[in-house]
């Protein structure tokens, strides 16, 4: 039985992971589950999956979680806060850790899991965007593999068929759905509900807004540059509205390999959980005759300036990626709370990127310091843009 810990169990990736795990009761057992505030949902997940440990990120909710589990007669132990998250990430009984917390908040537990030698199933792209070199060092030190859950990177992993060297690869092609506003020209008055109404995927609110601005693709280009050791000029983005081709690799001989499937995160999650074996994910089969044509178009950097800002950050070096990510998190949170216009998200990020040029981080502490300083500036910019 393979022990699996899920950091961010109450989210969209957490739910898809637990769905796949439930299909293989003889193969996986749940070792720890974590959530930030959704204490009732976490208690319900504990009743269903019986982990050894449940962690609520917000320490104020620890006693509520304890009471709920006691009422349910659960044997699950309870912890909270950063210490609890770090404990969950390093559980001795866990073979695999699914990093599914949203945002840079997932960085410390993700690093801890990698360092502890857990097989790391990485959904938390912000962690690798902020601390690519440190995370890859931690994975090497821990000695267990990192497998990408993000569907594009998972597709590339599959197309590379585990090749250790990327000699012979000409370029990576990341596909983008284009999000809910692919054909929209006027962005005035965009509401959080409209921005979160993704045509192909059901995801958490932050990544949904990132998909609407195309920042998600920008973060994914940075993620791909770390994961596959590729320079920016060898990572292309193509808009593919059907989200059937999840990404492609072009080789020097002109061959292009693509990974296809219905847009369902259970597919990349099952690939990672079972690797190197293939296990059932519960996803539907692709019906090619009903699919008809697949379409492709170039991304529009004028209507979607966030993608260009991510390129700018990648070119400027690792510290700029932290600034990009932090200011984006602040701007998206403000937009979701009704404190910032959709069109001002790129303005806030651009302003903070232009004003900060810190040196490349050499430690986790320096990553966190750059992140905190960028958040402060972004908060000030949000107030000015209101
Ligand atoms: P979500 O908002 O649905 O869930 C986020 C989870 O993180 C929740 O369990 C929440 O309790 C926890 N969390 C939030 N803030 C936290 C904090 N400060 N400390 C500790 N835990 C916290 O998000 P999601 O859509 O599941 O995405 C999770 C991650 O996976 C993101 O980094 C996202 O970019 C990535 N990802 C998601 C998808 C998808 O289809 N949802 C696809 C690819 C990559
Ligand atoms: Mg993706």
Average pLDDT on 71-76 reads 95
Question: 13 in ligand 1 pocket by Cβ < 6 Å?
Answer: yes
Greatest CA span in the chain, whole angstroms?
63
The residues facing 146 across adjacent strands are 120
Residue 286 banded pLDDT, cuts 50, 70, 90: very high
pLDDT tens-place string over residues 343-360? 999 999 999 999 977 889
Ligand 2 centroid to 64 CA: how many Å? 34
According to DSSP, residue 105 is labeled G
| Residues contacting residue 311 through CB under 8 Å, at least 6 positions apart | 218, 221, 232
Tokens of 275: 């690797």
Terminal C-alpha separation, the chain = 53
What pLDDT does residue 33 have? 98
- The domain boundary, picked from 275, 291, 307, lies at 291
How far, in Å, CA of 297 to CA of 6, rounded?
A: 36
In what helix (H) or strand (E) does residue 248 lie, and over which residues does it extend? strand 245-251
Residue 386 banded pLDDT, cuts 50, 70, 90: confident
Ligand 1 centroid to 301 CA: how many Å? 26
Question: 110 in ligand 1 pocket by Cβ < 6 Å?
Answer: no
pLDDT tens-place string over residues 146-155? 999 999 999 9
Question: 36 in ligand 1 pocket by Cβ < 6 Å?
Answer: yes
What pLDDT does residue 272 have? 98
What rounded mean pLDDT belongs to the chain? 96
Atom 9 in ligand 1: residue holding the nearest Cα: 8
Ligand 2 centroid to 150 CA: how many Å? 5
Tokens of 236: 């292309």
Question: 10 in ligand 1 pocket by Cβ < 6 Å?
Answer: yes
- The domain boundary, picked from 117, 148, 179, lies at 148
- Look at residue 344 and tell me if it is in a domain: yes
Domain hosting residue 198, numbered range: 153-291
Both 43 and 112 in one domain: the answer is yes
- Look at residue 310 and tell me if it is in a domain: no
Tokens of 242: 């059907």
What pLDDT does residue 293 have? 93
Residue 201 banded pLDDT, cuts 50, 70, 90: confident
Phi, psi (5° rounding) for residue 254? 95, -10
**Of 299, 264, 295, whose CA–CA distance to 282 is shortest?**
264
Average pLDDT on 112-132 reads 98
> How many Cβ atoms sit within 10 Å of the Cβ of residue 201?
16
Both 98 and 34 in one domain: the answer is yes
> How many Cβ atoms sit within 10 Å of the Cβ of residue 298?
9
In what helix (H) or strand (E) does residue 146 lie, and over which residues does it extend? strand 146-148
Atom of ligand 1 nearest to the CA of 203: 41
Ligand 1 mutation target, pool 42, 65, 102, 199, most atoms within 8 A of CB: 102
Atom of ligand 1 nearest to the CA of 85: 20
* Cα-only R_g, the chain: 20
- Look at residue 270 and tell me if it is in a domain: yes
Atom of ligand 1 nearest to the CA of 216: 34
Whether pTM > 0.95 for this model: the answer is: yes
Ligand 1 centroid to 208 CA: how many Å? 11
The burial of 106, by beta-carbon neighbours within 10 Å (0-12 exposed, 13-18 middle, 19 or more buried), is given as buried
Ligand sitting nearest the alpha carbon of 237: 2
Grouping H, G, I as helix, E, B as strand and the rest as coil, residue 26 is coil
What pLDDT does residue 107 have? 98
Q: Tell me: pLDDT of 132 over 80.
A: yes
What pLDDT does residue 162 have? 66
Both 136 and 19 in one domain: the answer is yes
What pLDDT does residue 234 have? 96
Question: 126 in ligand 1 pocket by Cβ < 6 Å?
Answer: yes
Question: 9 in ligand 1 pocket by Cβ < 6 Å?
Answer: yes
Residue 166 banded pLDDT, cuts 50, 70, 90: confident
Ligand sitting nearest the alpha carbon of 333: 1
Question: 203 in ligand 1 pocket by Cβ < 6 Å?
Answer: yes
Tell the residue number behind the tokens 């050791």, with chain if given. 229
Q: Tell me: pLDDT of 307 over 70.
A: yes
Both 113 and 230 in one domain: the answer is no
- Number of independent structural domains in the chain: 3
According to DSSP, residue 297 is labeled B
Say which CATH number the domain at 368 has.
Answer: 1.10.1740.10
What pLDDT does residue 42 have? 98
Say which CATH number the domain at 62 has.
Answer: 3.40.50.720
Q: Is the dihedral of CA 218, 221, 223, 226 positive or negative?
A: negative
Question: 268 in ligand 1 pocket by Cβ < 6 Å?
Answer: no
The residues facing 250 across adjacent strands are 171, 256
**Of 68, 70, 108, whose CA–CA distance to 90 is shortest?**
108
Q: Give 208's Cβ-side CA count (13 Å radius).
A: 22
Residue 364 banded pLDDT, cuts 50, 70, 90: very high
Both 117 and 249 in one domain: the answer is no
Atom 32 in ligand 1: residue holding the nearest Cα: 124
Tell the residue number behind the tokens 């917000």, with chain if given. 58
What pLDDT does residue 164 have? 64
What pLDDT does residue 48 have? 96
pLDDT tens-place string over residues 24-68? 999 999 999 999 999 999 999 999 999 999 999 999 999 999 999
Residue 202 banded pLDDT, cuts 50, 70, 90: confident
Both 100 and 235 in one domain: the answer is no
- Look at residue 56 and tell me if it is in a domain: yes
How far, in Å, CA of 214 to CA of 177, rounded?
A: 9
Q: Is the dihedral of CA 7, 9, 15, 17 positive or negative?
A: positive
How far, in Å, CA of 28 to CA of 224, rounded?
A: 29
Q: Give 342's Cβ-side CA count (13 Å radius).
A: 23
According to DSSP, residue 9 is labeled T
- Look at residue 275 and tell me if it is in a domain: yes
Question: 240 in ligand 1 pocket by Cβ < 6 Å?
Answer: no
In whole angstroms, how far apart are CA 8 and each of 213, 249, 309?
24, 30, 28
Q: Tell me: pLDDT of 86 over 80.
A: yes
- Look at residue 300 and tell me if it is in a domain: no
pLDDT tens-place string over residues 232-267? 999 999 999 999 999 999 999 999 999 999 999 999
Q: Tell me: pLDDT of 163 over 80.
A: no
Question: 265 in ligand 1 pocket by Cβ < 6 Å?
Answer: yes
Question: 57 in ligand 1 pocket by Cβ < 6 Å?
Answer: yes
Ligand 1 centroid to 163 CA: how many Å? 29
- The domain boundary, picked from 148, 165, 182, lies at 148
């Amino acid at each position: 039985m393979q022990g699996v810990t899920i950091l961010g169990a109450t989210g969209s990736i957490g739910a898809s992971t637990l769905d796949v795990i439930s299909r293989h009761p003889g193969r996986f057992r749940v070792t720890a589950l974590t959530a930030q505030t959704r204490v009732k949902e976490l208690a319900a997940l504990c009743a269903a999956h019986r982990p050894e440990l449940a962690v609520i990120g917000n320490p104020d909710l620890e006693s509520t979680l304890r009471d709920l589990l006691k009422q349910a007669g659960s044997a699950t132990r309870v912890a909270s806060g950063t210490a609890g998250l770090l404990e969950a990430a390093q559980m001795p009984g866990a073979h695999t850790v699914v990093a599914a917390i949203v945002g840079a908040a997932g960085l410390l537990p993700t690093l801890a899991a990698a360092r502890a030698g857990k097989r790391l199933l990485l959904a938390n792209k912000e962690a690798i965007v902020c601390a690519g070199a440190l995370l890859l060092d931690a994975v090497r030190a821990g000695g267990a593999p990192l497998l990408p859950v993000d569907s594009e990177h998972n597709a590339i992993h599959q197309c590379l068929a585990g090749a250790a060297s990327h000699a012979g690869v000409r370029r990576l092609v990341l596909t983008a759905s284009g999000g809910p506003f692919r054909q929209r020209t006027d962005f005035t008055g965009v509401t959080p509900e409209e921005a979160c109404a993704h045509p192909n995927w059901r995801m958490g609110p932050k990544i949904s807004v990132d998909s609407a601005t195309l920042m998600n693709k920008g973060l994914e280009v940075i993620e791909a540059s770390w994961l596959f050791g590729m320079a920016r000029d060898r990572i292309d983005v193509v808009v593919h509205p059907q989200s059937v081709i999840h990404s492609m690799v072009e080789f020097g001989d002109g061959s292009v390999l693509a990974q296809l499937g219905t847009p369902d995160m259970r597919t990349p999650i099952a690939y990672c959980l079972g690797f190197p074996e293939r296990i059932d994910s519960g996803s539907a089969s692709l019906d090619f005759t009903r699919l008809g044509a697949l379409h492709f178009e170039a991304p529009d950097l004028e209507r979607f300036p966030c993608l260009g800002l991510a390129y700018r950050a990648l070119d400027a070096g690792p510290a700029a990626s932290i600034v990009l990510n932090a200011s984006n998190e602040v701007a998206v949170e403000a937009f979701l709370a009704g404190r910032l216009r959709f069109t001002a998200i790129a303005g806030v990020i651009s302003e903070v990127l232009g004003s900060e040029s810190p040196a490349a981080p050499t430690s986790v502490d320096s990553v966190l310091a750059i992140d905190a300083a960028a958040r402060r500036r972004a908060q000030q910019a949000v107030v000015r843009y209101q």
